[in-house]
Structure 1
């Protein structure tokens, strides 16, 4: 149910609504919500948490927080997906500024204040900053190092920083509600990459998306290799779909991981064939050159670990050697499947069917 919008006095800071989708994240959601309550912003605010059908105690924890603090509203997200949760939370909130929050994120106390000041100064429809990944275990530290390096996630400003100014997309996002309503909120058919697609619609309707390095959000990485692999396979899958469906999204950097996957895989196959033929007495030296691709990649990963992860100890260094290929290959394989429409054709058809309608959801 949508709440009535409250008109803000002309001299007051605009009220802000924090919206957070959460599913199976009992470990991090408490700290994420507390970081919202600790903001130094002096305007009115509300917190709306959209909870999916979790099985790890997340629902119970969030409901307890809602009972303990009247500023927190808990709403159900039956679908459990990120875009549906965001839309449900946005509709249940009431203030003119909407701040997207991730259950893995911890906002610094000045986040809302700086974001609103930036919106008012620039006239942007959406502002955001840097996803500043930090881990606690050796594995999480290795993931954080990969996130913050150019070789890990491509070196975009919202991962490694950069100059303030207009951007294609930003991490999370602090939106004018009017802009969200203008473009129809998040596309619930896009399970990953929905932030980029929403920002594309904002920009296509004359709005500005603004990056500022003054906003840094602490992000808690996935805690295991299997979770990391699933995350990046899904992200790559949907990025492949979006790249195929939306011409403006075809940045060359998105093709680097799939080219890497194809090149290394072909090199291993050709090298293995050459080795097998050699053992059988049929020497084909040219095929053995296929091993150059995987060996070169292994050297690059090792050098990256030396440059990026060696200061965090031997365990983090060792995990980095595993984490970086996991990110590259899971994302790259997912991208290939999504781009070729081999894994999510239904979603692609749904997008094509509704592409002419800007009011989605």
Structure 2
């Protein structure tokens, strides 16, 4: 679908849902204000009710810079917050930003240039590379797994690549007309809202564009408990997307759920074997093969993933991968069976 051409230097609205982000919010806003983009800018922070001083930080930022404006997000959910921020914004280009992400200085300039490409019709959204980073040993292990295909799988924005049409985009730099044409974010999808919006954009005839020159630093969860809660919610809502859109979902959405089922079969076979119900000749294929293949995969990942410095790092990497896979897979099976309900990631809240 064609879009009207942008001006040479279109004004940009940055939209950010914010909930309990006292540790990250100020840095995230400063990376926006430090963008080298020469067009007009505004930042809309959609504030949910926080308990860690985030609101006070946001109010101080808004008081010191008129480009920062605040709107309420009473629902506390990300899609609702994004829609509130977009509704309050005014400019033709919308840049989604997360409070726990930091943009490189040239991010907006490069993204707007991609939106202005005349050789690719209908570019409605542009995204680039998410580079996870960590400060402590556990957060660094989680970041390594985010950055590896052994952790999050095949999304282009988790690794390097060449510019081109994409299935989805991390965060995203959007044409306002395109977002309006498909109705914005679906407030009923509490996780995976980016993928779902990009699917509707593509189905409407727009192009989602990947450009690896765009770089975003992402600060992941810093504990295994928080990671498990995050990935359980993510798996649950991926299942909701599978239920809603069927074959439009990539195969990788199904892999963690299949893994959990395989390991469950192994465990059940072990119980039946120990109870004398299954003879060894019948039990060993289902008892050993799924678990053995998974252990072998984890060992391979621990060997291949870079930036590990000794046995402790490798053990932390293994724990991270198992936490990611099993939490996502368990959540996925829950979502397939029961839907999303009110399962939501509150790992940054408690």
State whether TM-score is above 0.5. Answer: yes
Count of matched residue pairs: 334
Q: 1:328 maps to which residue?
A: 325
Return 211-220 or 155-164, whichever deviates more: 155-164
Q: 2:86 maps to which residue?
A: 90
* 1:12 shift after superposition: 4.7
Return 106-115 or 20-29, whichever deviates more: 20-29
Cα distance, 1:344–1:156 mapped onto 2, change above 3 Å = closer
Indicate conservation of the 8 Å contact 1:12/1:43, yes or no.
no
Aligned pairs (5 A) from 1:343-358: 343-344=339-340
* 1:311 shift after superposition: 2.7
* 1:72 shift after superposition: 0.6
Indicate conservation of the 8 Å contact 1:172/1:195, yes or no.
yes
Q: 1:70 maps to which residue?
A: 66
1-side partners of 2:84 and 2:201: how far apart?
A: 19
Aligned pairs (5 A) from 1:29-48: 29-48=25-44
**Deviation per CA, 1:147-183, whole angstroms, max 9, x where unpaired?**
1111211122111122211111110100011111111
SS at match of 1:125: strand
Q: 1:308 maps to which residue?
A: 305
Aligned pairs (5 A) from 1:133-212: 133-212=132-211
Q: 2:106 maps to which residue?
A: 110
2-side partners of 1:265 and 1:328: how far apart?
A: 14
2-side partners of 1:101 and 1:11: how far apart?
A: 23
1-side partners of 2:252 and 2:67: how far apart?
A: 42
1-side partners of 2:40 and 2:112: how far apart?
A: 12
Q: 1:235 maps to which residue?
A: 234
**Deviation per CA, 1:31-51, whole angstroms, max 9, x where unpaired?**
111100000000000011111
SS at match of 2:308: helix
Cα distance, 1:216–1:11 mapped onto 2, change above 3 Å = closer
- Any runs of at least 4 consecutive aligned residues in structure 1 with deviations exceeding 4 A, and if so which? none
Alignment TM-score, normalising by the size of structure 1? 0.88
Q: 1:355 maps to which residue?
A: none
**Deviation per CA, 1:262-318, whole angstroms, max 9, x where unpaired?**
00121122123213439xxx8544324403322331232122112115634443222
1-side partners of 2:265 and 2:69: how far apart?
A: 52
SS at match of 1:215: strand
Indicate conservation of the 8 Å contact 2:154/2:252, yes or no.
no
Q: 2:346 maps to which residue?
A: none
Unaligned runs of 5+ in 2: 1-5, 344-350
Unaligned runs of 5+ in 1: 1-9, 348-361
Q: 1:271 maps to which residue?
A: 270
Indicate conservation of the 8 Å contact 1:257/1:329, yes or no.
yes
Q: CA RMSD in A?
A: 1.9
Indicate conservation of the 8 Å contact 2:239/2:339, yes or no.
no
Indicate conservation of the 8 Å contact 1:270/1:291, yes or no.
no
Cα distance, 1:319–1:65 mapped onto 2, change above 3 Å = same
User: Is the counterpart of residue 24 in structure 1 residue 20 in structure 2?
Assistant: yes
* 1:142 shift after superposition: 1.0
2-side partners of 1:133 and 1:336: how far apart?
A: 27
Cα distance, 1:346–1:21 mapped onto 2, change above 3 Å = closer
